[in-house]
């Protein structure tokens, strides 16, 4: 069994390395000197600027007639259906490249796994729905930015730009094909000169609604917004594993800090406040210290309860409330802690608010004259724990899987995990 698993890992690794490193030879526009072109995300097509292009195949011996465009070449060499539907595997052999548009959705590893399991069970291992692409030049002139699978930006000045296509819809399917060389898909080349980002949102929403997080990312990466709240919220989500709403709430103390209508219009519902964000991070450091990674404490209703306690204490205590609540949380007894978790688990949110208020008031009454000193002690304990986690040797050198991220982040992470698993299994075989 170990040998079989190792073989499977080797095949997947070979697939990853093939897609990530393979190269083809491409002649320059004068039909002379050969240059190398990365095919780590290759696909199909040609634009008007692709005419008078000389190109050789993987074997380096077949050129395009200088008077024929790349589309005409592909139509002649690759089987296709109406609407310019080309096989990814056939097209990739001719050196055309696919890149990812900045501002499109993040890649979810779980969706890649789901799609691969589906396509792997089909006889031909080919996705039924095509990946929709446009000439990259069209996208760049539309004001968008693009990166390849390594994360490098592709610009209008990039050599051989005529070889590039930009994926509008079907990023996850393309990622699966990049990871598994036995998987194929169709590429549908379209001609669209309108607002591409709006069109991307429409296309993607056919499978899954475009969320506020998608809009935040798009607005930031396309320059519609510079709101630091979005980047800090994303950072907190990754660092502490909380939901977008939880992070936004904690950083602003507003439950609906981000409104859909404002994001669609490219407006900021709530401007970023360094003071509020600082308070939010202090509170969550205390929450993480006391409750570790308990999923119940990551419910937004817990922040509701904290805000309720704050409101009951009046705005006059605003300057010291964060300090007092932080100390209360870190010094919380197990009895109080378990009661709060139980109320959250049972969704008894009304009692949660009143109980938290009662516990907090009792704590404050007891320690109100010592809280300045207590804060320093508790901050020191949190810092020491952070250092301990950083310095202590890990039980395993296993690479942590990234749940979501940019295409290059996900691709590299999965490749490294594959390398790790293969190495681990080889060691097991050697020891057996």
Strands 146-147 and 153-154: antiparallel
List, for residues 300-318, the tens digit of each pLDDT value: 999 999 999 988 876 545 6
CA gap 332, 262 in Å, rounded: 39
- Dist CA 289 CA 381 (whole Å): 9
State which H helix or E strand residue 107 sits in: strand 107-108
Q: Which two tokens stand for residue 20?
A: 């990530």
Give the span between the Cα atoms of 147 and 152, in whole angstroms.
5
158 vs 229: CA distance, rounded Å:
33
pLDDT (tens digit, 0 to 9) for every residue of the chain, 432 residues total? 444 444 444 445 445 444 432 332 233 333 322 222 333 333 333 333 333 334 444 444 444 444 455 566 566 656 555 557 888 888 888 888 899 999 888 898 999 999 999 999 999 999 988 999 998 999 999 889 999 999 999 999 999 888 899 999 999 999 999 999 899 999 988 887 788 888 887 777 666 666 777 777 776 666 666 678 878 888 888 888 888 889 888 888 888 877 767 666 667 778 888 888 888 889 999 999 999 889 999 999 999 999 999 888 765 456 688 899 999 999 999 999 999 999 999 999 999 999 999 999 999 999 988 988 999 998 888 888 765 655 544 445 677 888 888 899 999 999 888 888 888 888 888 777
189: which 2 tokens?
């080349």
Strands 164-169 and 97-101: parallel
Place of tokens 């929403």: 205
Alpha carbons 287 and 304: distance in angstroms, whole number: 14
Strand pairing category for 80-81 and 85-87: antiparallel
Q: At what angle do helices 2-21 and 407-431 cross, to 10 degrees?
A: 150
- Spatial separation of the C-alpha atoms in residues 61 and 67, rounded to whole Å: 18
Q: Which two tokens stand for residue 21?
A: 């490193």
Q: How far apart are CA 73 and CA 314, in angstroms?
A: 73
| SS3 of residue 62 by DSSP | coil
Q: In this structure, what token pair is assigned to residue 291?
A: 């409750």
Q: Which of 55, 15, 19, 25 is nearest to 148 (CA)?
A: 19
Return all residues near 79 (Cβ < 8 A) that are at least 6 apart. 87, 90
Report the candidate in 169, 265, 163, 255 with the shortest Cα–Cα distance to residue 224: 265
Q: In 35-87, which residue ranges form alpha helices assigned H by DSSP? A: 70-77
* Rounded Cα gap, residues 97 and 167, in angstroms: 10
E-strand ranges in 114-211 read 131-135, 146-147, 153-154, 164-169, 186-189
CA distances (Å), origin 129, targets 56, 64, 264, 412: 29, 30, 28, 26
Q: How far apart are the first and last CA of the chain?
A: 12
Token pair recorded at residue 106: 């993040």
SS3 38: strand
Longest dimension (CA), the chain: 87
In the chain, count H helices and then E strands: 18, 12
The position carrying tokens 């009304």 is 350
The residues pairing with 138 across neighbouring beta strands, listed in sequence order, are none
CB burial readout 171-197, b (16+ within 10 A) else e: bbbbbbbbbbbebbbbbbbbeeeeebb
Q: Identify the three-state secondary structure at position 281.
A: helix
Query: How far is the C-alpha of 319 from the C-alpha of 325, rounded, in Å?
Result: 11
Q: What distance in Å separates the CA atoms of residue 327 and residue 380, rounded to the nearest whole number?
A: 12
């Amino acid at each position: 069994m170990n040998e079989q698993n190792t073989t499977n890992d080797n095949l997947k690794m070979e697939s990853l390395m093939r897609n990530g490193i393979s190269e083809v030879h491409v002649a320059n526009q004068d039909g002379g000197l050969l240059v190398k072109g990365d095919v780590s995300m290759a696909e199909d097509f040609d634009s008007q600027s692709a005419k008078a292009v000389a190109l050789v195949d993987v074997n380096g011996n077949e050129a395009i007639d200088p008077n024929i465009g790349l589309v005409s070449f592909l139509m002649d060499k690759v089987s296709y259906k109406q609407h310019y539907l080309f096989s990814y595997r056939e097209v990739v052999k001719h050196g055309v490249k696919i890149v990812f548009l900045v501002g499109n959705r993040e890649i979810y590893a779980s969706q890649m796994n789901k799609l691969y399991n589906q396509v792997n069970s089909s006889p031909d291992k080919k996705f039924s729905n095509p990946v929709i692409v446009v000439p990259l030049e069209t996208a760049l002139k539309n004001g968008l930015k693009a990166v390849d699978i390594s994360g490098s930006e592709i610009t209008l000045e990039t050599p051989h730009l005529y070889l590039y296509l930009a994926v509008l819809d079907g990023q996850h399917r393309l990622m699966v094909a990049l990871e598994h060389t036995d998987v194929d898909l169709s590429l549908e080349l379209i001609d669209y000169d309108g607002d591409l980002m709006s069109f991307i949102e429409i296309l993607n929403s056919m499978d899954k609604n475009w969320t506020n997080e998608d809009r935040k990312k798009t607005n930031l990466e396309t320059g519609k917004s510079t709101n630091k709240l979005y980047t800090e919220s994303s950072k907190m989500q990754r660092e502490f594993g909380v939901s977008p709403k939880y992070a936004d709430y904690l950083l602003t103390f507003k439950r609906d800090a981000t409104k859909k209508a404002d994001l669609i219009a490219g407006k900021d519902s709530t401007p970023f406040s360094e003071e509020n964000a600082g308070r939010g991070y202090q509170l969550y450091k205390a929450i993480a210290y006391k409750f570790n990674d308990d999923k119940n404490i990551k419910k937004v209703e817990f922040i509701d309860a904290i805000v309720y306690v704050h409101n009951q204490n009046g705005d006059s205590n605003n300057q010291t409330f964060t300090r007092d609540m932080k100390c209360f949380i870190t010094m919380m007894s197990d009895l109080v802690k378990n009661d709060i978790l139980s109320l959250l688990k049972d969704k008894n949110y009304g009692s949660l608010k009143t109980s938290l208020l009662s516990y907090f008031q009792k704590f404050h009454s007891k320690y109100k004259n010592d809280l300045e000193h207590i804060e320093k002690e508790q901050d020191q304990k949190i810092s020491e724990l952070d250092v301990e986690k950083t310095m202590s040797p890990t039980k395993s050198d296993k690479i942590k899987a990234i749940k979501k991220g940019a295409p290059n982040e996900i691709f590299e992470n999965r490749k490294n995990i594959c390398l790790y698993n293969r190495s681990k299994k080889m060691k097991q075989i050697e020891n057996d």
